[in-house]
Structure 1
Amino acid sequence: MLRKEIRTFFRVLIAGLVLPAYVQAESAPQEADAARELLTEAVEYYQENGDKALAVFSRQGPFVKDDLYVYVVNTNGIMLASGGPSVMLTGRDIYNAVDDDLKKKFEDALSLPESDTIHEGEYPWSSWNTAGREITKHVYYQRVEDKIFVVGYYQPRASSEDALKLLDTAVEAVRADPRETFKAVNALDPRFYKDDLYVFVVELENNRFVAHGSNLRLVGRDFSQLTDITGKPFGKEAVDKIAKSDTAEFNYQWKHPISGDVESKHAYARKVDDYLVVVGYYQPGKAAAE
């Protein structure tokens, strides 16, 4: 069991170190600046205090700030410190617990020369504040001696572009094999959700949900009868619109899957045979359009 947990953790660690940096710092400048600042502070503290600093990084202290924390891995594959959930792996040889095909990627990532350069990457990860969902974590990391220091922040809000990309994926899957796609969506297959985005599908013959990537209790319910917290009959609006066109957009107020707050949501819908496939993104601070 522990070996499986280590392998899962290491896969996302590798992804963070070797993925290209699709920088989204513009959408979260405060988090990005804070993460880079904490990384710089950690590196400077280590350079001043040596290995004694590692114990400090693993404590709830100055190097744990809200959702930001430091973790450190050495070039031998040992987790040396963590101020977050991965603290359970401190002292573990995670390198020898991974598949052989991942070891080469690990070696490539750690072959970076020691320098003042701060690198960037992204990977999916979950925390105690993400309601069990894996959401995008943007990380900054730097090599010092034989150690990699890492700090990252979560990006739980996806964009309209992300919503349309996920909709494309879902539409193709429903067109190819609807029943298997419904099972995958209902099983929270990561192909069908990203951050706070998720897919839902309605069978137009009876207007009932056949798949929902966030709330399984809606499966089987009549979508056309749904109203939001303001009383807006958004389900009927969507069904009426898709009856006139193969695509539609609509707005409503709905609970955010991570924060639990009710927010404005803009949804994109497409008709695939006898199904309505929908993905929407959240717009905090905005009122849903009539």
Structure 2
Amino acid sequence: MKTMPAGLLVLALAAALNAAPALASAPADNASRVPGAIERAEAKDSAGLLADAVAYLQKHGPDKSFNAFNNRKGAFVHGSRYVYVVGTDGIMYANGGVPDALVGVNVSDLRDEAGKPFMHELLDTARSSDTGIVQYRWLNQADNRIEDKTVSFHKVGKYIVCVGYYIPHSAPEEAQALLERAVAQIQKAGAGPAYQSFNDPKGGFIRGDLYVFAIGIDDGKYRASGAVPQLSGTDARELHDAAGKPLVQEMITLAKEKGNGTVDYAWRNPATNAVEAKHSLIQRVGDVLVGVGYYSK
């Protein structure tokens, strides 16, 4: 068994993660590209992978199972989702993400990017329950970004089998870049084709928790909404946020008076299912306002 001081372990792990080849992102279906379905799709796929791993361990035993889980090209690595196994003794027995760096190491003191001792939480929770969930911030090798990760576990004897998925939180700069692309698309392709691409999950304007919406300045009707395309043609002016703020009316006023800017409000993030602060960047293009919003905790 390898041992390593906690501080050195974190440094070594960070180096290994940054050196590891990026994994291809592989959504299970088109629905996983739509913001409202992100968590449901990811949670479902992760639960399925965890169930498969538990069944495999129960049938084939530790040695064969750990070899299978550690195979980065094997059946237990699905894009950014992979299986890892921690013993109740704190030893990492398998890890499909970075097997060379972690397998055989005591990870009891491992902390996430924010300093949270998430491995202590996992071990403590597993002492009183055979199943559970822990959440922390971790490097997503698919996009090389630190993101929120939700990990479900199932204890099999002395082994804690884990599978997690990432929930995106895009940066303001990414929202601004998508907004600029959307405005350029309208100017290049024309309004109708642009709105179709904004509503299309494969149109290139839905990225993680970001999507484009377009609203008429005079009639307040949606021209497009990447989150819910069915809203197209409906009047958005009566929309209020969780605190009762008439956010669309404020967007329209801002577009008329200044042409662009930011509207802040409270909105349910479909990727986390929590009400969070949202900031919509808007730009006037003719008689419509085009917007992209991002969340902050």
TM-score, with structure 1 as normaliser: 0.50
Q: Which residue of 2 aligns with 1:184?
A: 197
Q: Which residue of 1 aligns with 2:263?
A: 250
Report the identity percentage: 28
CA contact (8 A) 1:71 1:83 kept: no
Q: Say which SS state the counterpart of residue 169 (structure 1) adopts.
A: helix
Residues 176-185 or 216-225, more deviating = 216-225
CA contact (8 A) 1:206 1:222 kept: yes
Q: Does 1:72 align with 2:92?
A: no
Distance apart, 1:254 and its partner CA: 1.4
Q: Which residue of 1 aligns with 2:171?
A: 159
Structure 1 stretches lacking a partner, 5+ long:
1-13, 19-48, 58-69, 74-78, 88-114, 125-135, 139-150, 285-290
Q: Does 1:122 align with 2:142?
A: yes
Q: Say which SS state the counterpart of residue 122 (structure 1) adopts.
A: coil
CA contact (8 A) 2:265 2:277 kept: yes
- Please give the root-mean-square deviation of Cα atoms over the aligned residues, in Å: 3.7
Q: Say which SS state the counterpart of residue 225 (structure 1) adopts.
A: coil
CA contact (8 A) 1:54 1:81 kept: no
Distance apart, 1:84 and its partner CA: 8.6
Q: Does 1:54 align with 2:67?
A: yes
Q: Which residue of 2 aligns with 1:175?
A: 187
Q: Say which SS state the counterpart of residue 258 (structure 1) adopts.
A: coil
Change (3 A) 1:230 1:17: closer
Distance apart, 1:256 and its partner CA: 0.8
Alignment of 1:191-270 (within 5 A): 191-270=204-283
CA contact (8 A) 2:167 2:271 kept: no
Report how many residues are paired: 173
After superposition, give the CA deviation of every residue in 1:75-102 in whole Å (9 maximum; x if it has no partner): xxxx354489989xxxxxxxxxxxxxxx
Change (3 A) 1:175 1:81: same
CA contact (8 A) 1:54 1:80 kept: no
Q: Which residue of 2 aligns with 1:38?
A: none
Distance apart, 1:122 and its partner CA: 2.5
Q: Which residue of 1 aligns with 2:30?
A: none
TM-score, with structure 2 as normaliser: 0.49
